[in-house]
């Protein structure tokens, strides 16, 4: 039996978890590069009985799953994975398992990006590195207004951190209720009020047909000229073309992205040269503590599956 571990960019999977517990009769191959869907990816994955996916780095649509006749178990890290066609997997007799996820790492990165934008950390660092000194006047988080779009598990964590910084927090999403806002301790407002009022806007929603392109040209036009938008959720929620236009035209103060419509971000993508845009390579969950949970629970899931024991199944919830 063969096991494939995909998209281990840092080449740490074998160090973090004890894959040797399966014994010599099961081989484990780790791939540190990323392949897009196509003949090369199919040829790579076809020999494997078990595939371990790191979040949504490699999508598994029906077209791919149908070309993997040996595949019996697909383990994804994290609580959910919208890039796996569960209906297709069920029809093909493929068991799909998931792990837990602490989530707070992404909330911490959101605050990191917010602070970096507020204090122009990237520009100040570059200035000192090249022999310069102070080049910008920063702004405080204390007293500023944070607009949270999506007040689920991650949005609530960000709201709590922002409150600790002395920020005023407002929130909106399509189905957000007054009761939920009172539970978290934030103010419920309309989408327009949030965009027009917030000094920082942060997004914490799942990508769906309803949320795709949710923040586009009209939404960015509502924001203050010195406001910032941060997206650590999913790339498709922010219209990248509209964001680049807004930044080139000085329509908003700046932005920070950890997620992109296409990942990894193509080498010559125009986002890479857009002014006042802070970019990180989808590292919201990339911490030692989170990886420890991801990889060890992946090994646990495989061991349980091989032993015929119950495992945590991935659902659409």
Residues assigned a catalytic role: 234, 263, 282
Residues in contact with 288: Cβ distance below 8 Å, sequence separation at least 6, in sequence order: none
Give the DSSP letter string of the chain: -EEEE---TTS-HHHHS-GGGG-TTSEEEE--S---SSHHHHHHHTT-SEEEE-TTSS-B-HHHHTT-TT--EEEESSS--TTB-HHHHHHTT-EEEE-----HHHHHHHHHHHHHHHTTHHHHHHHHHTT---------STT-EEEEE--SHHHHHHHHHHHHTT-EEEEE-TT--HHHHHHHT-EE--HHHHHHH-SEEEE-----TTTTT-B-HHHHHHS-TT-EEEE-S-GGGB-HHHHHHHHHTT-SSEEEES--SSSSPPTT-GGGG-TTEEE--S-TT-SHHHHHHHHHHHHHHHHHHHHT----B----
Report yes or no: 265 and 271 within 8 Å, Cβ to Cβ: yes
């Amino acid at each position: 039996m063969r096991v494939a571990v995909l998209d281990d960019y840092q080449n740490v999977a074998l160090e973090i978890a004890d894959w040797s517990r399966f014994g010599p009769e099961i081989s484990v191959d780790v791939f540190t590069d990323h392949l897009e869907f196509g003949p090369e990816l199919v040829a790579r994955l076809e020999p494997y009985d078990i595939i371990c996916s790191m979040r949504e780095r490699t999508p598994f649509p029906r077209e791919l799953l149908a070309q993997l006749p040996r595949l019996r178990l697909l383990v994804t890290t994290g609580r959910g994975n919208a890039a796996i066609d569960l209906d297709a997997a069920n029809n093909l007799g493929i068991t799909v398992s998931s792990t837990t996820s602490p989530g707070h790492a992404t909330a911490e990165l959101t605050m990191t990006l917010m602070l970096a934008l507020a204090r122009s950390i990237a520009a100040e660092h570059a200035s000192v590195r090249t022999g310069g000194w102070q080049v910008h006047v920063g702004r405080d988080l204390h007293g500023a207004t944070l607009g949270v779009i999506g007040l689920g598990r991650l949005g609530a964590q960000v709201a709590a951190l922002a409150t600790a910084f002395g920020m005023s927090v407002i929130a909106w999403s399509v189905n957000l209720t007054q009761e939920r806002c009172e539970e978290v301790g934030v103010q419920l407002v309309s989408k327009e009020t949030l965009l027009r009022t917030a000094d920082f806007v942060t997004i914490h929603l799942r990508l769906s047909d309803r949320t795709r392109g949710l923040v586009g040209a009209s939404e960015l036009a509502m924001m203050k000229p010195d406001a910032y938008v941060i997206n650590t959720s999913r790339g498709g929620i922010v219209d990248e073309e509209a964001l680049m236009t807004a930044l080139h035209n000085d329509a908003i103060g700046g932005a920070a992205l950890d997620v992109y419509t296409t990942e990894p971000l193509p080498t010559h993508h125009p986002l890479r040269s857009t002014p006042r845009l802070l970019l990180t390579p989808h590292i919201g969950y990339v911490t030692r503590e989170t990886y420890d949970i991801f990889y060890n629970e992946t090994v646990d899931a495989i061991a349980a599956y091989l032993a015929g024991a119950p495992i945590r199944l991935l659902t659409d919830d």
